[in-house]
Amino acid sequence: MWARKPTLHAMLADTPRPNSLDSFWMPFTPNKAFKADPRMVVRAEGMHYYAPDGRAILDGTAGLWCCAAGHGRPRIVEAIQRAAAELDYATNFNLGHPTAFEFANRLGEILPTNLDRIFFTNSGSESADTALKIALAYQKARGKPGKYRLIGRERGY
């Protein structure tokens, strides 16, 4: 990822830094190694992250697949700002919002006809839990409420 390995001092010289790196546990990073030689980024634009010294670092995983369109694209930033100004969040528990229905309808129009029911979630946990509930409801609707065998994997999500 780094063309040359910068020293910690060079990386953090002009970067605001917390008093300690102990407060933030990074779940997919060897924390001891990171604390000994932290690799910090301070901003992102397009397909690059930027180190504190200004060097561009190619974001080869698109922000872990969350930024496939690139970072900081003005049209996307503006759309996010407009949406957040109108309604930043509303739960789907007994509440609805016209934009959610409009988006679900648009998705339904481009998906195959057997995939035209949309369910939005906020997390993997919510997605997995709801997928199980949908599977149970499906079997009940088919007249087979006793068909509920589920398969899980040890250490799987």
Predicted TM-score (pTM) of the model is 0.63
* Tens digits of residue pLDDT in 22-60: 778 888 888 888 888 888 999 999 999 999 999 999 999
- Measured CA to CA in angstroms, residue 80 lies from 77, 84, 85, 88 at distances of 5, 6, 8, 9
Helices then strands, each counted (H, E), the chain: 6, 3
Instruction: Report the alpha-carbon distance of residue 111 to residue 50 in Å, rounded.
Output: 37
User: What is the Cα–Cα distance from 79 to 37, expressed in whole angstroms?
Assistant: 37
107, 125, 127: which is closest to 116 by C-alpha? Answer: 107
Reduced to 3 DSSP states, what percent helix, strand and coil does the chain have, rounded to the nearest 5?
A: 40, 5, 55
pLDDT in tens, 77-127: 999 999 999 999 888 888 989 999 999 999 999 999 888 788 888 888 888
